[in-house]
Each structure stands twice: as structure tokens, then as C-alpha cells.
Structure 1
Amino acid sequence: MEFEVNKEYHGFKLIEENHVKEINSKVRVFFHEKSGAKLLSLENDDDNKVFAIGFRTPPEDSTGVPHILEHSVLCGSRKFPIKDPFVELAKGSLNTFLNAMTFSDKTIYPIASKNDKDFLNLMDVYLDAVFHPNIYKYPEILAQEGWHYELNSKDEEITYKGVVYNEMKGAFSSPEDALYRKIQESLFPDTTYGVESGGDPSDIPNLTYEQFIGFHKKYYHPSNSYIYLYGDGDLDKQLKFINDEYLNEFDKMEIDSHIDIQKTFNGIKEVNGDYPVSPNDNGKDKAFLSLNFVVGECTNPEISMAFEILEYLLLETSAAPLKKALIDAGIGKDVYGFYDNSILQPVFSIVVKNSDESKKEQFKNIVFDTLRELSEKGLDKKLIEASINIKEFRLREGDTRTYPKGLLYYTKAMDSWLHDKDPLIHLRYEAPLEKIKAALTTDYFEKLIKQYLIDSNHCSLLLLKPRPGMAEERADVVRKKLSDYKKSLSDVEIDKLVKDTIALRERQITGEKPEDLEKIPLLSLKDIEPKIEDLPIEEKDICGNKVLLHPMFTNKIAYLRLIFDTKTVEQQDIPYIGLLSAVLGKMGTENYNYMDLSNEINISTGGIGYASVTYLINNTPGEYVPKFLVKSKSLVDKLPRLCELLEEVILKTKFDDKKRLKEIIQELKSRLEMAIFDGGHIVAANRLFSYFSPIGFYEENISGLNFYKFIEELDEKFDSKSDEIISKLSKVSKEIFNKNNLLLSAAVEKEDYKKVEENICSFVNRLSKDKVESKNYNFDIKAYNEGLMTQGDVQYVAKGSNYRKLGYEYSGSLQVLKTIVSLDYLWNKVRVLGGAYGAFASFGRSGNMFFGSYRDPNLKETLEVYDKLYEYLENFEADEREMTKYIIGTISNLDTPLTPPMKADKALAYYLSNITAEDVQRERNEVLNTSREDIKGFAKMIKEGLSENYICVLGNESKLRQNEDVFYNLVDVFN
């Protein structure tokens, strides 16, 4: 359908129509005359359609009202009155993305689906949720999702409970998160960015129901909304639906959601803060230092892009000069930065981790001295070229991995649209990129450094110190506050609290009315494609080595993988495989120092990465293949240079630069610490698998907690062990990088495959051809059942076993079981009733199964929920509609849209795991044919598996010590 500017379509007046070549989309900007809603449409040939609605939601305090509201509006609405439509959609739609997100200044509700009918259904539920939520009817929604006083009997202690409350307790446990919040607070003391939109646990209990409702009334109106449509859908039909079903009910309003500019400071503002470490920790070398600068406004696309590049150039790449200066001066053991342009006044931060407060002045001086020197003497032009090239490669590739491409474009549009500017300025990246390329021949970046950093007054110097016992002090403060509160209550008031607690629980455990459940739109199984997606793979030969060709459209990019077997490495040397993956590309070689090597890679390629990975062997329980994966990509015409650089790194790396090696190990330790805080559920699950699974034990030693402890020891004893480390890296490298160990994988357009053959052979033939010997590993696999102690305020509770060892086989129906257990049983028991932020189940082809919780206030209670799962399954009831819903939701997870490199990597994984297309089709058929009886039939397997009692919990030290009878061992995660 053709649209004309200034004409009205279903209440929407078309304001502007353009073609944006950078994203290959026809772009239309509409304004809904009656309601005041704004709408942006990106029309293109992408069948993974995206809808989103967002609101400008600037908070005035740190009670977390925008975040709690984001959770709460999805807990039932006018047309869909059940308690959790969001979960019903997750169970039973073909969504490819379904979520809601709170930012510092906005809240967005995005969905995506490739199915037209499903897309409209999802849009309907989300629009009804934001405009007509049940929060006005049920104050219990705030109690459940936000916070409430929990008192089960008048003799108990009062506690705080709530999903967001526990989520933010977990978030506030991470020192990096605490640092980021302190940075915003220090730079924006007078604006909305100075408060915590997610909610500070100490402030969340101050939020009243009246404030909660008032925030929705004020900001969740179409006049304050930003609606978005992306993909190949029928735009006219979509506009009609949005108008007829929703916007037509509203009249335009003036809504004051304006965000003020923070007044510039007169000079550097110095701020101190604390974060918790164990009472026994001396806190040595655990301080964070950061210098933070406000950089213009996010509505300037050129400066925004330039600072994204500048941050990478100064602090991220191996050739980063500011990072090098700070590391060389011994200011800290890890240096990194970030540039946040998602807020009105973007922030550029320089962060040093594992430092000491005595180095604060030295840190500041080195930063400014280095910046002055770079500004006056000039940046290395090759470094500039490399940094611009890697940014341009990523822009043109458009590979988001995590989010649908359409959602990425929405967030970019909102960076300007939210502040009443053209939503397209960050999507049209060619013009600003061309201006920035002037830096290759001028002092472009040098001027930016001087103007926005050296001469800036709007900056802060932040010291975040470790404080032993802080977590315990914080817990004592909360306990005393609640104890004093209880003492202040009359018997009548205490009885009311008990009644309120019971009433909330009764609401939570009460089932839905069938007639209400049926109001949630549902596809039929006929709407599902019964056949699996084809993953192109052809076996070829390159100079005597097998190569897997994945012919597909890649936009003239070649994705090349080198896969080396690592079974040639001695068992005691397995952790060095993980270290090797961290070292390669970051050390010098025969022809380049490490900085020049980094520049050469970034100038000529889209990146080279290294990882130690494992693939299970299908239908062979306990068997797996460990591999070392070299992932690379470049434009097809740069393949010769890519192959030269692969050869340089793999065959000519010099491991004997002790200074550089020590820097890499210190940085790796720091990054692993961050990963433990960010992914406690993953740490606990992987540790759990090592108790009963050879593949789990192996992975624990190349990337898990064992690997972290290995790196920690290398860091502590580096001076005495450096020669041994160098010798081991050299030995392991020689054992892995052998022609007889090598398999190749190439994703490229078929006509370009010849160029892969022409260029890779010379490198492959230079690999060692010595005979290789595969080693037999004998791991000490047993139930260690550990409590992994940190200063976090929440737990990550994992329990599981291997069902194949018990004689059970893998079936696609287990994936339906996963959907049911994760989004029904565990959601209700662990999240809704228990107050955890999340809970989930997993059943792998290897036989490994586990149940886990995320940011969980509980421990034994959650384990008890897992143990009673078999009873739920024995009594499982579901009619045909319910089973259809669970099956559709499972297919949605199986059908995640894949980019070309993701398709190639999935095909490679299937190949190495001996998973055939027939196996995958059989799994899909089993999913589609899963019955209620199949689900009930898993009760015995679950009961037997969990009775083996493999348990691992990562969490708060005090909580774990209070429950030490659960564990065989208590382990300090951080020394």
C-alpha cells in the first residue's frame, strides 16, 4: 500500500516518509491526532517483525517505581484479566522476543514474532497491559512485584518480600553495578539521572500504593508514548488495529515528562562510596577508581558515534594508549571504560579495578597527563583506522546476537526521539561516519579529547572502597528497622499484617478461571511449520583437511572457523587451554608487538576470537569432544590478509613477555569476577554439572569456578610461576595447533568459496604435521555439594543430576517439560510465592538436567520446591488447549531467528555432536506430539534424579552458614 505525507490513516497522520539506506528500510513517522501518540514505522523485508511501545518515565526518587510498574502492568489487564498474561504468552506464543525493560529515563515493552497472527496477538496483550492494567483493581500486584511486609504469624519476625526488591538486592551486590550507579549519582545530582530508576533496596519500601498508581496515571498515556513497528507486516492493518482497539479511546493531553539538563560543575567533583566484602577480607587492592565526564547531548549523532569509537580506541583495544599508561603505572590490575549515550547527557567513564585509595591522585594525574600528551602529540593513525574500521564493520554487519535487529533500531531511535528530536539521526550513520573518518588525516579526535575531556568541568572522580562486613551491617540495619516497626504496631495492626500476608498468598496460589485463560489469544498447531529449518552444510576438502561449507548470503563477509581438537593436552594442563584462549591475540608475535597486532587485525578484519568449547556426542552418554575454536570474519576481498594474521597469531605468538602476560592474567581474573557476579546462576549450574558429568568437570576447569581459582593462583604467585606458565602455554599451543587436529568451517556465498580455498591452504600447510596422541582423562567426579559464599544479598540455588545414567533417554517432550516446569511450576513456587527474580529448568541431550533460581532470597525453601516437582507431575492435568499452549511456547524457543554466522555455528555444533537432521526433525515431531501423559510420565525420572541430591548454591555468606547442614563444603568464592 502506498502512503502519502500529510494524509491520515486510521487516525494517524503521516508526517514524514523516507528511505534510510543504512538499514534498508522505508521509514514513516506518524502522529495520532486524537490521542497524541507518536509512531515510527520501519518497513523492510525482515520477517522477524517487532512491535514496541515506550514511555518517557523519569523517576523523582529511588523507590524503583518505573521498574516495579514495568513488572506490574504485565500482571493482568482489562481484556486479559488473568494474573500473569506475560507468562501465558511466554508459554504459548511463537514470539521470538518478549520482554519489558526499565532504563534511567524510559520504559519500553517490545515483542517480536515471525508469525503475522501471533504478532497481532502479542501486540494486543501488550497494549492492553500498558493502558488498562489491573493494578487499579488489585493492590496485591504491587505487593508481589514490588515489596510488602511478610508476616506469616504474629510470633515471627517481619521481613521484606517482593520480586523487584530481591532483584535489586542482587543487583546492588555487584561492585560494578554499585560503581555505575554512583557515577550517575555523582554527575547528575539535580536531575532524574541522579536517582536509581530500578530501585534501591533501602528505598523501595518507601513506595506507597498511591505513588505507584499516580506514576502510571501520569506517564502511561498515549500522549507520552513512542510506538514502533518494524518488518514486513501489513502496516495499514496494524495502524487500524492500534487505533480502533486502543488509541481511539484517549484524548490528547499535556504531560510534563520533560528531562532537565544538569547544570555544569565548576570543576572535578570528588565522591567516595563503599561496597561489601567478607568480614575476613582485608580489602587490599580491591578499590575502584573512575573518572567520569559528561559529553554533550545524545541528540548529536556525530559526537555520539565519535565517542563510541574513542572509548574503544583509548580503553578497549589491546593497543589502547590510556589503558596502557594506567597499567604500566601500576594503578590497578584491570582498566576498562564505557560510553553511555542512552541518556540525555552521555557519560564517558574511565575505570580502574583492583586498585587502592592511596593511588587516587596518581590515577587522576596519569589520566589527564596521558590525554594531554595524546591531544598535543597526536594519536597513532593506525590505531584510529583500526578503531573506525571495527565500528564500521559492526554497523554494516548488523549482527546483534542478543536482540532482534528491529529492537536494536528502536533503542537507537529512542536515543533521540525520546528527547523530541528526529528518531532517525542515529540510524543514518553514513554521514557522521564520513565526518569522523577525517580523523585519518586531521586532529579530529585530538580536538574531541581536549574539548570534552581535558577542558571539561562536568566530571567526577569516584573512589569505591571495599568495606569488610558491610553486607552484615546492612542486614542488621534492615532487621532492626523491621523489628522496631513491629514493636510500634498494635495487636490489631499485627493481625492485619498476618491477614494481608495470607491473603496475598491465597491470591498467588489460586488458579485462573478457565474462561479468563481462554481470553489470551492462542494459535493452533496448524500455525506451526512442522519441518525444521535447513542449516546448509557441505563437506569439502582443503589441502587434506576437511572443511564444512555453509553456503548462504553473507553480504560479502566470510565467516571462517578453525576447530582444533584439544584431547592432545595432558589432563593436568587443561586449565591452560582456557588461559591460551585469553592470551592469543593480546601478546606480541614474531612480526608485531601486541599493540601493532591489534591494529592490524582491526584494520583488516571484523575480529578474531578464541574459545575453548565442548560438544557432547549424541546418544553416547558421558562422551564429548573438547575443541579449541578460532572464530574469525572479514570481507571476502580481505581473506588473504585474514589468513596471514591467523598464521601470525596461531604459529608465531611469543609467550615470554612476562610483563604483558601478567597484565593479561590480572585482567582475566577481574573479568571472571564480574562474570561470577553477573551470572551466579550459570556458575552454580556449571559447578553442579561437574559433580556428576565428565563434560561438566572439563568445562569447570576451562571456564568455571575451578578455572577462576586457577587464574587467581597464577596472579598471586606469578613471579615464582612465570617461567612455568610460559612453558605450559608454549607446550599446550604446540599440542593443539596441529594439522592433524584441524577441522575448518566457512560460511560464505557459494561463488566466494574458491577464495577461501585459495587463501587458507598456505596457512594450514604451515601447521605442525607431527603425529598426535589423544589422551584419556580420568576425573574425580563425585558430589561435592558446595555452598559458594559471596557478599551478595541473594542466592542462586541449583540442583540436578544426569537422567541418562539412570536409564532414561532424551526426547523432544523434555523440552515441553522444560516449558511447563520453568513457566508454570517454578514460576509460581519460586518467583511468585518465593520472591526470587527468576527460576528455570534445563534438560540436555547429554542427560544433564538442572533446576535453578536467580536472585533468590531463599535457600532450603527453594530446594524443597525442586524436590516436590515429581508430585506436581504425578498430578499434572492439562486439557488440549493447555497442551497446545505449552507446545507452541516450546517451538518458539526452538525457532529462534538465526543470523548467517549463527546458522553456520549451529550446523557445526550438530556435526561435531553427531546430531543429524533426522534427529532434529524427530525432536520437533516429539515436541509437536507431546501429550499430558508424556509429561506425567516424567515424574519418576525427576524423583529418581533429584533423590541423588546433587546441590550447589552460590549466595550470601551468612545465609549459607545458617544452612550449612545442606552442604558438604562451604567455599569462599573470593579470597
Structure 2
Amino acid sequence: MELELNKSYHGFKLLEKKDINEINSTGIIFEHEKSGAKLFYLKNDDDNKVFAVSFRTPPEDSTGLPHILEHSVLCGSRKFPLKEPFVELVKGSLNTFLNAFTFPDKTMYPVASTNDKDFSNLMDVYLDAVFYPNIYKYPEIMMQEGWHYDMENKDSEITYKGVVYNEMKGVFSSPESILLRKISESLFPDTQYGVESGGDPDVIPNLTQEQFLAFHKKYYHPTNSYICLYGDIDINEKLKFIDEEYLKDFDRIDVDSRLAMQKPFDKQKEMSINYPISVNEKEEDKTFLSMNFAVGKATEDEIYLAFDILEHLLLETPSSPLKKALIDANIGKDVFGVFEASMLQPMFSIVVKNSNESEKERFKDIVIKTLSDLVKNGIDKKLIEASINIKEFQLREADYHGYPKGLIYGMKAMDSWLYDEKPWVHLTYEDTLKKIKTALETNYFEKIIDTYILKNSHSSILIVKPAKGLAEEKELEVKKKLQEFKAKLSESEIEKLVKDTAKLKERQVTADSPEDLMKIPLISISDIDPKAKDIALEEKEEQGIKVLYHPEFTNGISYVNMYFATEGVKEELVPYISLLTTIMGKVSTKNFSHEDLAKEININTGGIRNGAQAYSEKWNAEKIYPKFVIKSKVIVSNMTKLMELLGEIIGYTKFDDHKRLKEIIQETKSRLEMIIFDRGHVFAANHLLSYFSQVGKYEDMLGGLSFYKFIVDLEKNFDSKAQEISDNLKRVSEAIFNTNNLLVSVTLEEKDYDEFKKNFNLVYTKLNSNRISAEEYSFKVEQKNEGLMTSGKVQYVAKAYNFIKLGYSYSGSMQVLKTIANYDYLWNRVRVQGGAYGSFSSFQRNGNMFFTSYRDPNLAETLKVYDGAGEFFKNFNTDDRQMTKYIIGTVSDLDFPLTPSMKGDRAAENYIKKLTYEDIQKERDEILKTTVEDIRSFGDLISDTMKENFICVLGNEEKIKENKNIFNDTMNVFE
């Protein structure tokens, strides 16, 4: 049915409609007349439907109230009174996305699914959660998710516990996170952006239950809500449901959720803060310097997009002039930019990492001089064209790395809608792009730099510098504060704390009643397609090279991936493969300087990325197929140019520019440090696999702790090793870029395949054809059981082994086991009871399995949980409905919608691993037929793998030292 303007549909008045051609959608704005709820529907034919309900939630302090509330409303509600409906949905829905987000000024609750029945169920649970949460009934919810005084008996110490408390301790362990969170405080000290909506661990314990409930009462009302719907849905039915089940029960009220604007500064302000490093780390070259600017308003579509492009232009490529000037001046070892637009007053930052406080004035001078010179003399037009092109390509491709498009469009809509403008301001980008493209003939960007940076006094300098022993100091401070607090308590107050702790623990360990569990809506197994999705793959041959062709509708884009076998690289040179991935395309070639090469890539393609990957054969972690992978994308009409550039990079890269090599090595080290802090759970688990697995050892040499130590050594000794590094890179490239090593994967439409075929020679002719004998790798693996120490305030605890080595075999039912382990066993014991932010398991076809935790306050206690998993599963029992739920939740991971490029990647990887469609179908059959008995049968497998006692922990130095008896060795990760 055609919806008409100014008509009401189930209480929703249609206010405005607009065709949004850029995303093939029609945008429709409604308002619910009784409650005042705002609703934006993006109508299109995408079957990956998205729903989100959001609220404007300006924080008043840094207690993390919006963040704690985001966690807490998902812990039971009126219709769904069980303890964690969110987890039950993760376990048992076909969702393609399910989460919630706390921003500096809003809280979003999005879900997505391709199954309409499932989509309606998800909407129901989320709407009930936000409007009717159980937080008013159970103070234990805030205690668990936020913070509480934990005291087991009257003689024990009092400690702080809570999921968000520990999550934010982890966040505030990373200097990059501290920097990014403090930038807004430096620019907007008098507004909601001057405090930490996620919560500062030092301040979180100031939050009271009364404040917590008052915040929900004030802001979580339909009048203050923003509802987004996206995709191919029956909008009439959805409006009827939202009205009848929820909004009709609310009257419109006044909600004062106005966002304050920071009064502009008269002059640049300066702010300095410390971050913790270990007593064994050196303080030199560990300071962050950033220059930050408030730039307009988020509702100004032109500035919003122009600054996104400008940040890339100035700071994100090898040809970026500001990055180049700062690196050349040796101010620091890494330079990057940040443009944060999801706030009323967006901010732009220039960041130098691994610097020193003494460089502050020189940093400021170089930034101002470089930008002034650009304004005066003009920016290279090819550089402008390159940055506009790469951003335009991203906008048109709309490939958001596995996130549903509707989720990203909903977030972009909020970047104007939350600030009282139309929700499509940033979705209709064609006219804005046209204006920005005038920069190719005018001084467009030069004017922006002059106005918004050089002449902008609303700016700050932020210095984030290392302080030895700061973490230990803080811990002692907290300990002392809690001891003094306990000393002042009366006997009855102590008794109450002990009782409250016991009551929380009792709630945590008490199972939900079968009646409550039945209230979570569930689709049936019959709603699931029993057939696995088959990705199209045709084997072809060009110039004697195997080509895996995936015919897919790609909207005129071609995806070309090249997989070069790397078995010809000598064992001692394996880390150079990974270094080569960071060098290729970023150093000069025969015909281009590295700056010009970057421009050519960005002007003519959608990007060229390199990576190193060790694939193991499907059932065997000892059989490795290592590859150097080059992934590229291009508009089909530019195929010739892409192939020329790939040929240039592969055939003519120069490895003798020592200055440039040093810059890349320094940046690589810096980015690895960020990964270690941000993805500590993956880092610890992957390093652990290197203790017993050939593929694990190889991957550790490519990107794990071994590779980090390799890069640290190269950086420290670069001057003496420069020629050796150049020679080794050349040697490795000659062993890799060979006609006998290559497998190509191409994803495009059938009509466009000939474009690839006729241009492939431009790459092929640049490859050598020497016969290179494959190395027989036999890496030394040993049970190191390391404690990897950092100044971080939390742990990442991993335990693993290979079950095939113990005589067990892989079954698809292990993926159901993983669902149960993640969202029952580990969730309840490591997160809910232990206070960690998360805990995960993995059971791989090659036999490698692991448990790992994320931002975990514990260490030995978590290992004990892992050790108890075998017994839990030996005695596992549940009813048919719960088993169905676990199976559905497992299938949702398998059936995640893939973009064309993801389909090509997946098919090529399966081919390399020798994984057939029959194998994939067999796994699916085993998942769909999984029984309670199957899960019980894995109990011995888990017990036996845990008994092998392979352990790796990344975390707080003091905590690891306290538990040193657990480890064979302890070491500082950073120097």
C-alpha cells in the first residue's frame, strides 16, 4: 500500500517522505501522536532488516550511568522476566546483529535479522527491555552490571566488582583509549562531552541506585526516543505492533534532554594527563601529542563529509603532507588523524604517537607551518582527487565489514536526527559530493583548513605521557580507600554488605525458571533452511594460472585477490613475509615515488591491501598452506589501471629506501601495540596456539608476540640492520612473487570477466618463473605457559590445546557446544559471577580449541572455571526447547549475510583449506541434529584438553607476579 502524507497509521502520523537514491531507499518520517515517539523508516528491498530504538542521554558526570543503564535494561523486563533476555536471544535467534551502544550523547539498541518472524521477536524483547526493565525490582542488576562493594564475610576485604567497572578499567589501561576519550574533555569541558559517558573507573563507584533509576525515568520515555526501521518489511504491520504493544500506553511529556554547546575558546587550551607504564618500561618515546579542533556542527552535511575526506588527505596515506612533515621532522614514530562526527560538535585531531613532551612546541610549529604552506601554495590536486575518490568509492560500495547496511545508515541518520535535523542529511550525499569536488579546480580545502584549523581558537593541545608505577599507585589508593571505608562501618552496615553480596551471588547462580525461559519467543528448526549456502565458484585458467571465479552481482565493482604461496621462504625469514605486507604499496617503485604511488592507487581503485595468512588443512593443524594475500577492488572500467598498479608493485618495488623503511617499521610497531591492548583476548589465545600447533606457531611469527618482538628488534637496531632488512625483503619477495606460487580469486559479474582476462597479463609478466623448492617447516613448539606482563589493570586469560592430537575428531555439533560454552557456562561464571567483560571459546576443524577471557579482573579463578568445563558438560542437561534455541543461535552465525567480496573471500579460503561443499553441508547437518547426548559426549574432550595445561595470560604485572607459580615464565611485553 502507498503511504500518504499527513495520514495516521496506527497512531503514527506520516510527516515527510524523500527518495534517497544514493542508498536505493525511500526515507519516511513518522511521529507517534500520543507518546511523541519519532520514527524513521528506510524502505528498500534489503532482506537484512534492521530495527533500533535510541534515546538522547546526555551524561552529567563520569559515573558511566548511560553505559551501565545500557547493560542493565537488557537484564530482564516486564514480559521477559528472566535474568538475561539478551543472552537468550544471542543463543537462540537468527539475528544478523544484536547489541547496544553507548555514545557520548545517545544510547542505541539495534537488532537485525533476515527472518521476519525472528525480527519481530527481537523488536519485542528490545522494546520491552527499554520501556519496562526489571531494574526497579532488582537492585542487584545495577550491582552486577555497574559496580558494587563485594564482601564475602565480615573478616574479608571489601573490593569493587562490576562488569562495566572492569570493562572501563580495561579501556583506561590503553593509552590510545585514554587519549581519544580525553580529547573531547579538553575541547568541551563545560558540556556533556566533558565527562565520560562510558564511565571512569575512579568515578564509577560514586553512582547511586537512586541516580541510576532517576536517569532511566527521565530519559527512557517514548517522547525522547528515536526509532529506526530499515529494509523490506511490512511497515503497516510493524507500526501496528509498536503502537498496540508499547506506545499507546504512554502520553507525551516534556523531556529536557537538550545538548549543550561549548562556548568557543578565546585561545588554545592545554591539558596534560598521565597513563600507566610498567616500572620496567622506559619513559622515553612514549608520549602522545595531539592538536584538536572543534569543527562546526554535525548537522552541517558539507563540513561533516569534507572533514572526513580532509582527515584522510592530511594524515592517512603515504602522500599525506601533514603526516609526512611530522614524520620527516622526527617528532614521533607514528602519526594519525581522528575525525569524530557522531556528536553535536564534531572534533578533528592530529595525533603523534611515541614522542616526548619536549617536542610539544615543535609539534605545534610544524602543524601550523605545514598547514599555512598548504593554504598559501595550494594542495596537490592529485592528492585531493585521490582522497575524494577513495571516500566516494566507500560510500557507493557500502560494504561495512560484515555490519548490516541498515545499522550503519541508522547511525548516520542519528548524526543529524538527534540534533533536531532531518535524519537523511548524511544519507543524501550526491549534492554534497558535487560541492566538495569543486576542490579539484578551486581552493576549497585550503579555505576549510584556514577557517576551521588555522583561524580556529576553539582548539586544544593534549599531552598524554607515561608514568611508571601509576597503576600500582592507583590500586593501592583504591585498597586504602576501601580499608578506610570498612573501618568506618558499623557492625550492622558490614552485615548488610555481606548480605547484599550473598544476595547478588545467589541471584547470579540461580537458574531462570522454565516458565520464564518459555516467555522468550522462539522460531522453530523448520524455519531454518537445511541446505548450506553454496557460493558460486568456477575454476578457470589464465596464462597457466588457476583462477577461482565467483560470478556475483557487484554493482560494477570488481574484486581481485591474489594468493601467493610462501613455502619458498626460509624459516628464519618467515617474519619478513608479514613485514613485506606492510611495505608493499607504501615504498617507491621503479616508476613512482611512494607518495605518487599512494595517489595513483586512491585515484584509480577502491584500495589495495596486503596480508599474510597461514591456512591449515581442514582436519590438520600441522599441515600449513601459508599465503601472501593481495586484495584489491576497482570499478570494472578501471581494470587496466588496477592491473598496471599491481604489476608495478609486484614487479618493481624498491627496498633500498632506508629512511622510508624505518618509518614503516616504527608505524608497524605502534599499530601492533594498539592491537595488543584492544584485542588482548585474541592476542593471548593466538600466542598460546604457538605452544603446540605448527599453524599457531607460523601465525605467531606473522602477527603475534613473536612478530612484535621481531619488529621491536628491527626498530631498535635499524641503523646497523638497514641493509640486512632491505636484502631480506628482496629475497623474500623473489621467493613469493612467482608464477608457480599464484592462485587468483575474482568476484565480478559474468559480463565483466573478459575485462579481467584481457588485463591479467599486466601482472603475470611481472612475476618470475624460477622453480623454488618448498621449505619443509618444522617449527619448534614448546609448552611455555607465559605470563605476559603489562601495566594494564585487567587480564586476558587463555587456555588451549588440540583435541585431534588426543584422539578426538571434529564434529559440527562442536559449534553448538561453542554456543553453550560462550553464553551459558563461560558467560555465567566468568562474566556474571567473575565480573569480566567477556569470555569466549573456539573449536576449530583442525583440532585447535581455546577458552579466553576479555577485560577480566581475575586470573587463577578464571583458569579454575576453564578446568571445570569438562565436568559441566559431562553432566549437561536441558530440555528440547533449550536445545532448539542453542541450535538456532549457532545457525545464525553460519547464515550471516555475506557481501559479494566476502563471498569471494570465503570461497577462496575454503578452496585453499580443501574444504568442500559436502564438508560444509555435513557440518550443518550435524549442527541441526545435535542432541543433549552429543553435548555430554564432549565433556571428556574438554577435560582432557584442559589437563594438558597449556596457559597464556596477558595482563597486569602485579596480578601475574602474585600468581607466578602458574607460569613457566613471566615477561614484560613492552620495553
CA offsets 1:551-573 (integer angstroms, 9 cap, x no match) = 01001111001110000000000
2:690 paired with 1:693:
no
Determine if contact 2:798/2:853 at 8 Å carries over to the other structure: yes
Q: Which amino acid aligns with 1:861?
A: E
Q: After TM superposition, list the pairs within 5 Å mapping 1:435-474 onto structure 2.
A: 435-474=435-474
- The alpha-carbon deviation at position 624 of structure 1 amounts to 1.8
Q: Which amino acid aligns with 2:719?
A: D
- The alpha-carbon deviation at position 751 of structure 1 amounts to 1.0
CA offsets 1:655-706 (integer angstroms, 9 cap, x no match) = 1001111000001000000010100001100011001110000000010011
- The alpha-carbon deviation at position 46 of structure 1 amounts to 0.5
- The alpha-carbon deviation at position 195 of structure 1 amounts to 0.1
Distance 1:664 1:360 in 2: 23
- Which position in structure 2 is the counterpart of 1:647? 647
- Which position in structure 1 is the counterpart of 2:612? 612
- The alpha-carbon deviation at position 766 of structure 1 amounts to 2.9
- Which position in structure 2 is the counterpart of 1:958? 958
2:840 paired with 1:825:
no
Determine if contact 2:292/2:459 at 8 Å carries over to the other structure: yes
- Which position in structure 2 is the counterpart of 1:887? 887
Distance 1:825 1:909 in 2: 31
- The alpha-carbon deviation at position 71 of structure 1 amounts to 0.2
CA offsets 1:572-617 (integer angstroms, 9 cap, x no match) = 0000001000001110000010000000000000000110012111
Determine if contact 2:78/2:134 at 8 Å carries over to the other structure: yes
- Which position in structure 1 is the counterpart of 2:580? 580
Aligned residues: 975
**Counterpart secondary structure, 1:622:** strand
- Which position in structure 2 is the counterpart of 1:90? 90
Determine if contact 2:799/2:946 at 8 Å carries over to the other structure: yes
**Counterpart secondary structure, 1:521:** coil
Determine if contact 1:294/1:347 at 8 Å carries over to the other structure: yes
- Which position in structure 2 is the counterpart of 1:839? 839
**Counterpart secondary structure, 1:387:** helix
**Counterpart secondary structure, 1:307:** helix
CA offsets 1:239-269 (integer angstroms, 9 cap, x no match) = 0000000000000011000001100001110
Distance 2:407 2:842 in 1: 27
Distance 1:762 1:439 in 2: 33
- Which position in structure 2 is the counterpart of 1:390? 390
Distance 2:74 2:737 in 1: 52
Distance 1:920 1:209 in 2: 50
CA offsets 1:608-666 (integer angstroms, 9 cap, x no match) = 01100121112334212000000001011100000000011111011100111100000
Q: Which amino acid aligns with 1:193?
A: Y
Q: Which amino acid aligns with 1:716?
A: K
- The alpha-carbon deviation at position 932 of structure 1 amounts to 0.2
**Counterpart secondary structure, 1:631:** strand
Q: Which amino acid aligns with 2:411?
A: T
**Counterpart secondary structure, 2:622:** coil
- Which position in structure 2 is the counterpart of 1:545? 545
2:906 paired with 1:906:
yes
- Which position in structure 1 is the counterpart of 2:266? 266
Distance 1:447 1:408 in 2: 30
Distance 1:499 1:79 in 2: 29
Distance 1:620 1:507 in 2: 43
Q: Which amino acid aligns with 1:799?
A: K
- The alpha-carbon deviation at position 141 of structure 1 amounts to 0.3
Distance 2:618 2:902 in 1: 20
- Which position in structure 2 is the counterpart of 1:351? 351
- The alpha-carbon deviation at position 402 of structure 1 amounts to 3.9
- Which position in structure 2 is the counterpart of 1:257? 257
Determine if contact 2:647/2:762 at 8 Å carries over to the other structure: no
Distance 1:282 1:338 in 2: 27
**Counterpart secondary structure, 1:623:** strand
Distance 2:262 2:574 in 1: 52
- Which position in structure 1 is the counterpart of 2:517? 517
Determine if contact 1:739/1:765 at 8 Å carries over to the other structure: no
- Which position in structure 1 is the counterpart of 2:106? 106
Distance 1:540 1:623 in 2: 26
2:568 paired with 1:563:
no
Determine if contact 2:621/2:694 at 8 Å carries over to the other structure: no
Q: Which amino acid aligns with 2:707?
A: F
Distance 1:966 1:651 in 2: 50
- Which position in structure 1 is the counterpart of 2:802? 802
Q: Which amino acid aligns with 2:483?
A: S
Distance 2:204 2:143 in 1: 11
2:286 paired with 1:286:
yes
2:674 paired with 1:674:
yes
- Which position in structure 2 is the counterpart of 1:554? 554
Distance 2:615 2:286 in 1: 37
- The alpha-carbon deviation at position 401 of structure 1 amounts to 1.0
Distance 1:762 1:527 in 2: 49
Q: After TM superposition, list the pairs within 5 Å mapping 1:347-496 onto structure 2.
A: 347-496=347-496
- Which position in structure 2 is the counterpart of 1:64? 64
**Counterpart secondary structure, 1:722:** helix
Determine if contact 1:272/1:464 at 8 Å carries over to the other structure: yes
CA offsets 1:55-112 (integer angstroms, 9 cap, x no match) = 0000000000000000000000000000000000000000000000000000000000
TM-score by length of 2: 1.00
Q: Which amino acid aligns with 1:919?
A: D
Distance 1:262 1:971 in 2: 46
**Counterpart secondary structure, 1:549:** strand
Distance 2:653 2:206 in 1: 57
CA offsets 1:13-64 (integer angstroms, 9 cap, x no match) = 0001121100001111000000000000011110000000000000000000
Distance 2:330 2:544 in 1: 49
Query: Which consecutive unaligned segments of at least 5 residues does structure 2 have?
Result: none
- Which position in structure 2 is the counterpart of 1:625? 625
CA offsets 1:267-290 (integer angstroms, 9 cap, x no match) = 110111100001122301100100
- Which position in structure 2 is the counterpart of 1:600? 600
Q: Which amino acid aligns with 2:814?
A: L
- Which position in structure 1 is the counterpart of 2:34? 34
- Which position in structure 2 is the counterpart of 1:815? 815
CA offsets 1:508-566 (integer angstroms, 9 cap, x no match) = 10011111100000111001011111201000010111100000100111100111000
**Counterpart secondary structure, 1:871:** helix
Determine if contact 1:741/1:772 at 8 Å carries over to the other structure: no
- Which position in structure 1 is the counterpart of 2:192? 192
Determine if contact 1:621/1:805 at 8 Å carries over to the other structure: no
Distance 2:343 2:27 in 1: 24
- Which position in structure 1 is the counterpart of 2:750? 750
Determine if contact 1:150/1:497 at 8 Å carries over to the other structure: yes
Q: Which amino acid aligns with 1:415?
A: D
Determine if contact 1:112/1:404 at 8 Å carries over to the other structure: yes
**Counterpart secondary structure, 1:299:** coil
- The alpha-carbon deviation at position 721 of structure 1 amounts to 0.3
Q: Which amino acid aligns with 1:687?
A: H
CA offsets 1:749-797 (integer angstroms, 9 cap, x no match) = 0111011100012321331011121001121101100001001000000
CA offsets 1:849-896 (integer angstroms, 9 cap, x no match) = 000110000000000000001111111111110100000000001111
**Counterpart secondary structure, 1:496:** helix
- Which position in structure 2 is the counterpart of 1:301? 301
- The alpha-carbon deviation at position 499 of structure 1 amounts to 1.1
- Which position in structure 2 is the counterpart of 1:967? 967
Determine if contact 2:621/2:848 at 8 Å carries over to the other structure: no
Q: Which amino acid aligns with 1:381?
A: K
Q: Which amino acid aligns with 1:391?
A: K
Distance 1:270 1:374 in 2: 25
**Counterpart secondary structure, 1:201:** coil
Distance 1:549 1:450 in 2: 49
- Which position in structure 1 is the counterpart of 2:77? 77
Determine if contact 2:384/2:440 at 8 Å carries over to the other structure: yes
Query: Which consecutive unaligned segments of at least 5 residues does structure 1 have?
Result: none
Determine if contact 2:621/2:693 at 8 Å carries over to the other structure: no
